[in-house]
Amino acid sequence: MSGARIIDGKAVAAALRNEVAAGVKRLQATRGLTPGLAVVLVGEDPASQVYVRNKGRETVAAGMASFEHKLPATASEAELLALVARLNADPAVHGILIQLPLPAHIDPRRVLEAISVNKDVDGFHLYNVGGLVVGNTIFPPCTPYGVQLLLDTTGTDVTGKNVVVVGASNIVGKPMALMLL
């Protein structure tokens, strides 16, 4: 068994942020395009508010447009689906994130599947999840992809190795297991 190694996630994240910002500048210079990310928060969950605030800050820091949509916890599923439809149709919005969890009266699967596959930057749409199985997804799920990037930047090859994934959530555990296959 090899020795433990500390991965400097902050350094990896900083390098990735710089790479994304450079890519945004190239898009702006060559195509006159500023990528836009819409983040939707339903309700007042404190942790979700922090995540949304951080996503918006990082989006702007990378030179992208950030569109934040906050709905009250009492918003109906129909209202949320109507917002998703507007964001799907908006040419300034290139990516859509629905902050989970959603209030209990809203079916998250129905909402996530309403997002255009080409704008589903969380990788939660059924098409993207299915794409993990065959190795062809438009957007991989964010957290498992981040883990994969950490493994790649450290030169860690898991081919032929036994890997343990703790948890089987649809957001992290299952996609992580599929990506590690």
Q: What is the pLDDT of residue 14?
A: 92
The pLDDT value given to residue 135: 80
Q: What is residue 3's predicted lDDT score, i.e. its pLDDT?
A: 66
Q: Which amino acid is at 170?
A: N
- CA-CA distances (angstroms) from residue 151 to 12, 144, 158? 11, 11, 8
- Tell me, rounded to whole angstroms, the distance of Cα 75 from its chain centroid: 23
Whole-number pLDDT of residue 115? 97
At residue 133, the pLDDT reads: 85
- The verdict on pTM exceeding 0.85 is yes
- Catalytic machinery residues: 55, 99, 122
Residues of the chain with pLDDT under 70: 1-3
CB atoms within 10 A of CB 54: 11
